[in-house]
Amino acid sequence: MSDGRILIVEDEESQRGLLKALLEQRGFTVRTASGVEDARRALAEAVPDLLLTDYNMPDGTGLDVLRAARAHDAELAAIVITAYGTVPMAVEAMREGAVDVLLKPVDPGMLLESVGRGLKLRGMRSELVRLRARLEERFGSSGIVARSEPMQALLQTALRIAPTRATVLVTGESGTGKELIANLLHEEGAAPSGPFVATNCAALPESLLEAELFGHAKGAFTGAVADRKGRFEEADGGTLFLDEIGEIPPSVQVRLLRVLQEREVVRVGENKIRPIQVRLVTATNKDLAAEVEAKRFRDDLFYRINVVHLEVPPLRERKADLPELIAAFTRECAERDGVPALPFAEDALALVERHAFPGNVRELRNAVERALLLAPGDAITAADLPAELRGATAGEEPVDQGLEAAVRALEIRLIREALRASGGVQTRAAALLGIAERVLRYKMGKYDLRRDG
């Protein structure tokens, strides 16, 4: 059994001695206290990894000891033992942070099992505290937020594999923050001082993607006026992040597989082999296993990039992160846009809590920024939030007019809001909407919209 420091609080000397002997035989470092006040003095000298306390004692209860211990260390694990267990007492002990309640006479096997669970939980709690501190230091207020259990589990795994050079596939819906995870893997990886190079595979046509990734020689094709490094060479000694990996065409999949197998790259239009050392992280919002089944993605490439799989949870599954995300985006947007950092009123928070956020964290960020720019009062209310969060309101076109017309009406309304909020600056309007500027220009032309909305 693992090492650990344990404080036993028990007023009966014989029972105290038996517990101490049992735990010391298993390699634990054990201290003892005879009551509540004695325990407080022991805790002031040194905080253990686990507290094992009797419930009924002459000068107080085990809950008094538990509260005193957690005042020193909120992550401390505790076990309460009692000869007179009741359901209300057990519930109260659990509320105060106990991980288990055992009845006297204590079965040695059950006690050791409970101690093992408690110490494991203590280690997990401490690791999460360190994780939060590292993330806050690394990313600041606008980076990764991980108060929810799904995000904590994700980041624990990410930090565990980051120091390796394993190829990682990051999946998740659009807007969940997959590139932030890729950044984390790089910054906490084996070569954080090396380059971090990111490329969106869906943003380039097939004719350019190959040269973009692998480089090209002068004269390799029309417009290739000079030799040029590809993304793999640029990332040599660091990390290459390929977003939307599911969009790459079959011809590029073949070349990518060879690069990963041989750890070398050949530029388009030449035969020279160039060795590379690159940690590859890829991301997609597609089900690549289904793409393999449908013969649209090579199975050998899938297995090569899917050495470690990290799934970023959608925002609807991490609602515990909403308050901190809202606060972070409010600070960031207020500072950048030069507007007051308004608080969210209760009705606005309730509306955000109910929304499913199909656009995930990106949608939330855009909603916060739009509300900050447009809110007329000294707080953001439900009325200040975008229409898609509020649902249909008076004066808006009904959704029973047909899907195509409803989508058109919604897009026109959102584009007009963004253009008004950005003063007609298309770059800013596109950012507010979470789309590329070229997409915004296309839709403005399609709907015959001017820059003033």
> Is residue 139 in some structural domain?
no
- Asked if 162 and 303 sit in the same domain, the reply is yes
Q: Is residue 72 included in any domain, yes or no?
A: yes
Q: At residue 64, does pLDDT exceed 70?
A: yes
Do 217 and 100 share a structural domain?
Answer: no
Q: How far apart are CA 381 and CA 383, in angstroms?
A: 5
Q: Band of the pLDDT at 392, cuts 50, 70, 90?
A: very low
Q: How confident is the model at residue 262 (pLDDT cuts 50, 70, 90)?
A: very high
Q: Please indicate, yes or no, whether residues 285 and 324 belong to a single structural domain of this protein.
A: no
Confirm whether 452 is domain-assigned.
no
Is residue 133 situated within a structural domain?
Answer: no
Domain limits for position 338:
316-446
Same domain for 221 and 355, yes or no, is: no
Q: Are residues 228 and 214 in the same domain?
A: yes
Q: Are residues 267 and 336 in the same domain?
A: no
For residue 192, the domain's CATH number is: 3.40.50.300
- Residue with token string 């992160």: 321
Q: What string of DSSP letters covers 202-248?
A: GGS-HHHHHHHHH-B-TTSSTT--S-B--HHHHTTTSEEEEESGGG-
Split at pLDDT 50, 70, 90, the class of 106 is confident
How many CA atoms are closer than 13 Å to the CA of 249, on its beta-carbon side?
9
pLDDT, the chain, mean: 85
Residues with Cβ within 8 Å of 64's Cβ and at least 6 positions away in sequence, in order, are 36
277-289 residue pLDDT tens: 999 999 999 999 9
Six token digits for residue 411: 């897009």
pLDDT at 137 > cutoff 60: no
161 lies in the same domain as 288: yes
Question: Residue 406: what pLDDT?
Answer: 60
**101 and 216, same domain (yes or no):** no
pLDDT, tens digit, 9 for 90 and up, residues 4-29: 889 999 999 988 999 999 998 888 89
Looking at residue 141, its pLDDT comes to 37
Could you tell me if 304 and 363 lie in one domain? no
| Amino acid 117: pLDDT | 86
pTM over 0.85: no
Choose the final residue of a domain: 311, 334, 355: 311
251/327 same-domain check: no
Query: Is residue 299, in this structure, part of any structural domain at all?
Result: yes
Question: Does residue 134 belong to any structural domain of this protein?
Answer: no
- 153 shares a domain with 265: yes
Q: Structural domain tally of the chain?
A: 3
CB within 8 A of 446, min separation 6: which ones?
Answer: none
Category of 327 on φ-ψ map: left (φ > 0), alpha (ψ -120 to 50) or beta: alpha
Q: With beta carbons less than 8 A apart as the criterion, state whether 212 and 204 touch.
A: yes
